[in-house]
Amino acid sequence: MNVMSHLKKNFNRINPNMGVITVFLFITVVITLLFGVALGPVRVSIENVALILLSHIPGLGEFIPRTWEQLDYNIVIGLRLPRVILGMVVGASLSVTGVTMQALVRNKLADPFILGVSSGAAVTATLGMLFGVFSFLGRYSLSISAFFGAAFTIILVYTISRVRGRINITQLLLTGVAVAMIMDGLTRIIILNAPNALGIQSATFWLSGSLAGAKPAYLTLPLIVLLVCMAVLILNYRGLNLLLLGEESAGSLGVNVKLLQKLLVLTASLMAGVTVAVSGGIGFIGLMIPHFTRILVGSDHRKVLPVSALLGGILLVWVDVAARMVLAPQELPVGILTAIIGGPVFIWLLKRKTKEG
């Protein structure tokens, strides 16, 4: 009983203890990192994982005894560590994108997957992946092309959903579903016309959402984009808070609403595009995590943004661990598991929203 009362005292939306929450999340991230690297078809002991990771810390490595085998080292450093870090970055990006879109359209049911943004990014990404349409953009052609698709889709859905200058929630959800279906159809046409069967198989698996094949080179751009977008959003946290009151109220309180909306569209599109480029279609993280974050810390975006980023990364890593082990030694695309988990959550949120309305 004392434990429960202590948790309620620190984890509550009215007056959350951010110090306790930060320490708790940091410990959870470390535990997630260790177990995420250790667990899989071939297991590595937690002790060896910890020792291998500690041996890479400058100034500490020479004091760590080499008790592990070379196979363990290759699995930890070459395969799973980049995958776990990518999972953290992708989960954080999806969660922050969800927070951004929910502030933009003032609705807690908005996320990149439901509103078709991920589907739009997938169209241009597969077009570039299979046919090299955007190869002239160079090394980051896949990420840039996915960004274009995400930006086009979010602007389209946002524009259609405005009725007399305001967002119509019902029209927003229906428009998002319709646009997502259109984009998914276009993606299927692109895949079916792929130049070879291997391209079809690779694109299909990629679209299902996966962190397989993660490499250190894949981490740089998503991490930079996440950090930059997080910084921009936190600097504008007051505007995000006021935007939830409505455009007119936010404007009367000194917020440049049109500029902020353009910034949110750009930020959400950039994060969604880069995320889809490196991990494919992973849905519902951006819907679930912001909702549960608000239950823990309230609606202040100064708290919601960092907490949702950490929770999103933690959740996606654990879902990816499950995806590795459910059908081991084969691997289940992580996007399938997030859909299985997220579908019922979305229905619950929708029913709850209907009752509140």
For position 158, which CATH number holds? 1.10.3470.10
Rounded to an integer, what distance in angstroms lies between the CA atom of residue 226 and that of residue 243? Answer: 22
Tell me what pLDDT residue 268 has. Answer: 87
Tally of domains in the chain: 1
pLDDT for res 1: 47
Structural domain of 192:
90-210+227-304
Indicate whether 14 belongs to any domain.
Answer: no
Residue 68 lies in a domain: no
Tell me how far apart the alpha carbons of residues 234 and 263 are, in angstroms, rounded to a whole number: 12
- Residue that has been written with the tokens 């933009």 in this structure: 104
In contact, 101 and 154? CB cutoff 8 Å = yes
355: in domain = no
Q: Is the separation of the CB atoms in 187 and 127 below 8 Å?
A: no
Report the distance separating Cα 158 and Cα 152, nearest Å: 10
Q: Express each pLDDT in 279-335 by its tens digit.
A: 888 888 888 899 889 888 888 999 999 999 999 999 999 999 998 888 777 778 888
Q: Looking at residue 92, what is its pLDDT?
A: 95
DSSP assignment letter at 64? S
Contact between residue 232 and residue 101 where contact means Cβ atoms under 8 Å apart = no
Helix boundaries (H) for 161-196? 169-192
The answer to whether position 300 is within a domain reads: yes
Cβ pair 351, 125 in contact under 8 A = no
Q: What is the pTM of this model?
A: 0.86
Helix (H) or strand (E) holding 133: none
Kindly state whether residue 106 falls inside one of the protein's structural domains: yes
pLDDT score of 286: 87
Helix axes 141-160, 257-279, angle to 10 degrees: 130
CA-nearest of 227, 145, 154 to 187 is 145
Q: Would you say residue 215 lies in a domain?
A: no
> For residues 154, 156, 160 and 166, what is the CA-based torsion angle, rounded to 10 degrees?
40
> What region does 138 belong to: left with phi over 0, alpha with psi -120 to 50, or beta?
left
Tell me what pLDDT residue 237 has.
92
| Residue 7 within a domain | no
Q: In angstroms, what is the C-alpha Rg of the chain?
A: 21
Q: Where are the beta strands (DSSP E) in the chain?
A: 162-163, 166-167
Nearest partner of 88 among 29, 37, 146, judged by Cα: 29
**Are the beta carbons of 273 and 150 closer than 8 angstroms?**
yes
List the one residue out of 318, 249, 317, 348 whose CA is nearest residue 90.
317
- Find the length of the chain: 357
For residue 100, give every residue at least 6 positions away whose Cβ sits within 8 Å of its Cβ, in sequence order, or none.
233, 264, 267, 268, 271
Q: Give phi and psi for 45, each to the nearest 5.
A: -65, 145
Helix (H, G, I), strand (E, B) or coil at 27: helix
The answer to the question of residue 180 being in a domain is yes
Beta bridge partners of 292: none
How far CA 207 is from CA of 63, 119, 129, 199, in Å, comes to: 44, 9, 12, 12
Which residues in the chain land under pLDDT 50?
Answer: 1
